[in-house]
Amino acid sequence: MIRRDEFVSRFGGVFEHSPFIAERAYDDGFIGDELTVDKVHIPLVAVFRAASEEERLGVLRAHPDLAGRLAIAGELTEDSKKEQASAGLDRLSAEEHARFTELNKTYTEKFGFPFIIAVKGLNKDGILAAFEKRIGNSRDEEFATAAAEVEKIALLRLTSMLPEK
């Protein structure tokens, strides 16, 4: 059985800057001997969904803006840097960057958390289209959508870390 400190060290960042999820999953006895994608993702998601709305909002707010100031300053987590680069967000033109900046600002002012999307398999145009569509959602719709995207991101991160079965 993996020790708690090892588990939290290894999986505490799967939900961006939110190690409490890994800590609770471990402490609640949800983690067994077999560390596979499903056997880690399912308990982490259960803890995330059981967290208070304020805690889940904190997880959403822990995510960086897409192509935002942290990316420019080189201060993204390694996972976020790779994810954004895979979608070409590290190679935007000045006009594209201005559009992302404008959408990030409008979105965050409206919803109180950054736009979150699992970028794997998407390019900047697909991300912009989703951004422009989702900005018209209600806060409840967007909170649910962003939370689902966080769960997808966690799954993608775990898939790169663990065997499937």
In terms of Cα–Cα distance, which of 65, 152, 153 is closest to 113?
Answer: 65
pTM check: above 0.85: yes
pLDDT of residue 70: 46
**130-148, pLDDT tens digit by residue?**
999 999 999 999 999 999 9
Residue corresponding to tokens 């505490």: 12
pLDDT in tens, 104-116: 999 999 999 999 9
Tens digits of per-residue pLDDT, 60-93? Answer: 999 887 766 545 556 667 777 787 778 788 888 8
What is residue 74's predicted lDDT score, i.e. its pLDDT? 60
Model pLDDT, residue 11: 97
Task: Share the mean pLDDT of the chain.
Answer: 91
Active-site amino acid positions: 63
Of 101, 70, 72, 67, which is closest to residue 84 (Cα–Cα)? Answer: 67
DSSP string, 126-142: HHHHHHHHHTTS-HHHH
Q: Is the pLDDT higher at 100 or at 47?
A: 47
Quick check: 79 and 149 in contact, CB under 8 A?
no
